[in-house]
Chains A and B, each alone.
Chain A
């Protein structure tokens, strides 16, 4: 009998308070969340609800004020910056709203540079893997194009390839459809969902775009820093 997929992301009573002088803002309040491999979770919520804060804490970019964060069973809450960088390098892939490709690098190089950073393999291996992945995502004809020559849909596909290229267990996507039209947004989400399932990745998509819901196995709601199963709950 096959056991449950491993826990990839665990947030346990996570709060984040931003302080500025006498003012303080509770961006996240006592958030608890478990996500397993192969699971796609959509976190919906309006602007300013704390979605990006949640994503950056889950991605080992930001430390919580209270609570604990585990990624692939490793507690990252109090890790120093070099260890956090290592976790991000090996365990986490990001997909951004504004694609965030390096403008001077071609599609192939954008993927290759991330692969090389995460492995001891040489340039040739990284090139081959990057090229193969881009072809798998239907970008074989664009591998030598600079980002400025790519459409927004193509840019986001390259960004997804980059996120998957280092073979992370956790993929965190921040409003991945926000800068795409309906058709491209649908394509991108379909691709992300399909590859995540195939490769048994845990995926968290934060968005206020309702179209995202149809690709998620679980939908959560974030409002004023509180995470719930139902809107307004």
Chain B
């Protein structure tokens, strides 16, 4: 590292602080937004992905698990079970809705994703029980533990919708979709609670196969034999669910990421530019002493790189430090910090530093060393 670059940079501590702070703020914003996106991405598709099914049967045109706009006849389950490749078939009734806790105001509603399943089969039911009784009995529901954290739902509480209610019998894990959480009940309880007519309609069927490698063959055969039925793998259905929820957020996220990048670039660029302008005379002295333009460019680039590196370390450090606390404070703030994202942010910071040095470098080449003989 060049002595002049280091000494000049650290001699102006306030300016360096502003510059590093600007880059760090930018890195922090980019880091926290990316982590939030990753966290949400994992969370909203997590349940569908973790249901140990080889295939999901949906009605054609169904977009995702959360909207659950699929209607299938119960008889499809019987047909699917007759296929020799199929091992287990589990019908699900899924419905997004708003409920409130008995004893609270009717306006204090929150979203739940009611999932009716067959406890005898189990597939499509709770992934893991955290507390209480499972499977739920008649008139009972097992809710995701996030509902307890966010809405204060306790075991024994009644969740009310209209004139119907369900008693919370336990807490499960792995069914958090950020703005809603799954609540599991038996098929009969769900049909009664939703007052389904006809009672034979189902939302999805989840299947396991004797040989999962036959998934595509089975899917093609079902779609051919049962028009209006769409077969999809758990991974793809999880992806579609993620896309449905996050595609609305993504454009906003990209704009905010660009703004964060530009803020960091502007702060670093302006501070390095003003430092270069203020030190014009000293750069003139160096030119007069025989230092070449490339040497002076290196001084500015090194200053920019040091600023970028310090800003990155500070910003990334604050991100790693604050992210878990933020998640504890605000449950919806689900973050996942990936090293690939950190590497990407480091690359973005490098670009930031290089671009920030570009304009000052252009100015350096125009400095006339004769100026040092004036005054």
Contacts and interface: CB of A to CB of B under 8 A. Distances in A.
Interface stretch (B90-98, B130-138, B366-374): B366-374
A88 B370 contact: no
B288 A61 contact: yes
B295 A117 contact: yes
Given A85-B290, A94-B288, A104 B7 contact: yes
B287 interface: yes
Given A102-B282, A104-B7, A82 B373 contact: no
Q: What is the interface of chain A mostly: helix, strand, loop, or mixed?
A: helix
A103 B3 CA distance: 13
Contact of A61 (B4, B11, B281, B369): B369
Contacts, number: 66
A62 interface: yes
A26 interface: no
Contacts of B373: 52, 55-56, 96-97, 174
From A94, A162, A174, residue with most partner B Cβ within 10 Å = A94
Interface size class of B (residues with CB under 8 A): 20 to 34
Contacts of B7: 102, 104-105, 109
B373 to A, nearest CB: 5
Interface in B1-58: 3-4, 7-8, 10-11
B285 A102 contact: yes
7 contacts: A86-B290, A87-B290, A96-B373, A100-B285, A102-B286, A117-B295, A174-B373
A224 to B, nearest CB: 19
Which A-B residue pairs are the 6 nearest by beta carbons?
A: A89-B290, A104-B11, A88-B290, A104-B7, A100-B285, A104-B8
Contacts of A52: 373-374
Interface in B264-292: 281-282, 285-292
B3 A109 contact: yes
Contact of A105 (B3, B292, B369): B3
Contacts of B162: none
